[in-house]
Amino acid sequence: MSSPLPATAPVDMVVPQAAQLWMNILNWGLVAVVLVVALNHWRKRGSAIGIWLVLGGALTTLNEPIVDVLGKCWFPAIGSDVLLKAWGVSVPTYMVPVYTWYVGGQAFLAYRLYEKGLSRRGLFGLYAAFAVVNMFLEVPGLNLPGPLYSYYGNQPLLLFRFPLWWIFCNALMPMMIAAVAIVVGPVLQGARRALLVPLAWMTAGATNALVSAPVWLTLNLEGSNLALTHLGAAAAFGMGLMVCYGLGLAVANDAAPAANRRRAALAL
């Protein structure tokens, strides 16, 4: 289940064109579903929160080249429909719909669950569910005869060529964005709700730094090895649990009274 990864970026990789096309079709289809749900919520509740969170999710695509350099992920440039290139990383266009539904759409789902009332135990369950979604999103593209992209270096916790440490952060991004929307909701009313879009980008970047830093460091240390990166992954897992616990204190319905008062104010 875990096969060796290249030690350095596989710069000679070529994008499989059929797979690239299907990534665009399937992920834009998921975006369409999310938008229908968000628009229906707007029509019924008079709140465009779902639209702002979806747009915020799309903007977080700009974090991709940063985390790719630090976390050693490579998207081939040859044959790619490139959206942007930074630090030598070519980010394909299909990453826009991926971030839109995975980060923005799931942030909207988390927001609705927080509104309705989610226990701290339920919050950890949501963390696990978003992690599983992340796995199903990544594993197929990594295991095609000609993969869509690749990880490289001494990646820890490999399963079907996917380094599982990424889910510790990726699953938290939509949850953190939703928590920010809940906390600042009473302040950002009317046109100020649009500020949720840059806030989503900022929150996603901060979540990456909060959780992934130990793996980034151990992956890029001179003399890095699998023992070091597995220690980094263990630290990242613990830090992810700490962040999730902190979220519970802020938004769970069995958390501190202050959090419950914020949720009640949002419902008004």
Mean pLDDT of the 234-241 span: 97
pLDDT(73) > 70:
yes
Nearest-angstrom CA–CA distance, 162 and 170:
13
Instruction: Compute the radius of gyration of the chain from its Cα atoms.
Output: 19
Per-residue tokens: 121: 């135990």
Query: Does residue 3 lie in a domain region?
Result: no
Q: Is the pLDDT of residue 258 over 60?
A: no
Separation of CA 31 from chain center: 15
pLDDT given at position 188: 84
Q: By three-state DSSP, how is residue 101 classified?
A: helix
**What is the DSSP code (8-state) at residue 105?**
I
pLDDT tens per residue across span 209-234:
999 999 999 999 999 999 999 999 99
pLDDT at 180: 95
**How much is the average pLDDT of 236-256?**
91
- Would you say residue 268 has pLDDT above 50? no
pLDDT of residue 186: 84
What does the pLDDT read at residue 260? 52
For the segment 75-95, what is each residue's pLDDT rounded down to a tens digit? 999 999 999 999 999 999 999
In a domain, 216, yes or no: yes
75: left (phi over 0), alpha (psi -120 to 50) or beta: beta
Residue 135 inside a domain? The answer is yes
Query: What's the sign of the alpha-carbon dihedral 143, 144, 149, 154?
Result: positive
Domain boundaries, position 154: 17-267
Structural domains counted in the chain: 1
For residue 132, is it within any domain? yes
Judge whether residue 29 has pLDDT over 60: yes
Residue 254 near residue 119 (C-beta atoms within 8 A): yes
| DSSP letter, residue 190 | G
Q: Is residue 63 part of a domain?
A: yes
CA proximity to 28, closest of 81, 71, 84: 81
Q: Which pLDDT does position 191 carry in this prediction?
A: 85
CA distance 80 to 84: 11
Q: Is residue 10 part of a domain?
A: no
Q: Mark out the alpha helices in the chain (DSSP H runs).
A: 17-45, 49-59, 64-71, 95-99, 106-116, 120-142, 165-170, 172-184, 196-220, 226-251, 257-267
pLDDT in tens, 131-154: 999 999 999 999 998 899 999 999
